[in-house]
Amino acid sequence: MGAGAIHSAEDARRLARRRLPWMVFDYIDGAAGQETGAARNRAALDAITLRPRILRDVSQRSLAVRIFGAEADRPFGIAPMGMCNLAAPGADLMLARLAARYRVPHGVSTVASTPLETILEAAEGYAWFQLYFSGDGTGTFKLAERARAAGYQTLVLTVDVPEVGRRPRELRHGFKMPFRIGPRQFVDFALHPRWSLTTLLKGKPVMANFQMEGYDFDRTESRARATWDTLARLRDLWPGKLVIKGVLDVEDARALVAAGVDAIQVSSHGARQLEAAPTPIEMLAKIRAALGPEFPVFYDSGLRSGEDILKALSMGADFVFLGRILQFAIAAKGESGLTQLWQAISDELSIAMAQTGRHSLDRHNHQIC
């Protein structure tokens, strides 16, 4: 692989920055406020060290783990991300095919660019539906019922967006969903002709789950009415696994366990919501300590490498999810770029396991310590 190949997440980001319109890159890359929260997340991950161990037979290593009783070929899956087809046409389905190939969950966003039924089929069932509570909840519960009818087994309720965080990079470009093209955007797109010709000729990306009659969505609509009663209603309605994503507080985590959820996902929404939030990697360790070793705890936010993944697993995560770096890989080199980055991260993780004397990623056999 030559100079244009993807050997790391930073390679993917660098190539994507060159190829995407500024507005789209900043939408994917941006964080809340002055982005000090994102910087603190990175600093907290960088401050964690792994323990090198020597003279252990690590010639046979497995990256497989179990998640909700099923075997997954990697300990990392695909976080729900809205409007992925802005990265490249067909991005949602590229991610779905990747999930099927490695038997890992693909988080399907409420605001995906492809209908939830189509993604589930392409993912061969390896997909979880992510839900935002919005407005008075009428549309939210209809979407949950639609996901259930489609065959989704796991629902992920994202709870850290009572209001959409202010991300100045987005605001400066006038980024909106549904996608709108005005004079400024037109100039931006004209200066990035490769993206414009491939993406806009396919039709501008839409929020596909709301193209059906009776499903409306306003990204700016307040999500602030969600309460513990909302959660109880959803728990009653949803017969499968229920994951709550966006948890950064020990007291909330304990209350969620008492409310009967099946897993908690520690996340700062990629630092896109509350700039002053605590770093999720530090809260992961505290939440794991509070809940004990058995309750399923997942993690996302800021992961950039296989070593980052091993750090999150060592801090107590059972499984982790990758987000924007996968979009960068797709923007950089399409499906081949996605495959290259996935392989690079797998290699990084496998090598880090060897360096730390691990042959397995099962937390319960004390391989991670």
- Among the listed residues 7, 269, 364, 366, the single catalytic one is 269
Question: What residues contact 286, with CB distance under 8 A and at least 6 apart?
Answer: 250
Q: How far is CA 221 from the centre of its chain?
A: 22
Q: What is the pLDDT of residue 186?
A: 83
269 is catalytic: yes
Distances from the Cα of 215 to the Cα of 110, 138, 139, 160, 325, angstroms: 11, 10, 6, 22, 30
pTM: 0.95
If you write DSSP's letter for every residue of 138-169 in order, what string do you get?
A: HHHHHHHHHHHHHT--EEEEE-S-SSPPP-HH
The whole-number pLDDT of residue 152 equals: 98
Helical (H) or strand (E) element with 327: helix 324-355
Q: Which two tokens stand for residue 31?
A: 């964080």
| Residue 328, number of CB atoms within 10 A of its CB | 29
- How far apart CA 179 and CA 265 sit, in angstroms, is 29
Element holding 131 (H helix, E strand): strand 127-132
Q: What's the confidence (pLDDT) of residue 171?
A: 85
Distance CA 170, CA 163 (A): 15
Q: What is the pLDDT of residue 366?
A: 38
The mean pLDDT values, 10 residues at a time, for the chain of 369 residues are 83 97 95 97 98 98 97 98 94 98 98 96 98 88 96 97 88 77 84 88 80 59 85 97 98 98 98 97 98 98 98 98 98 98 98 98 54
Res 223: pLDDT: 77
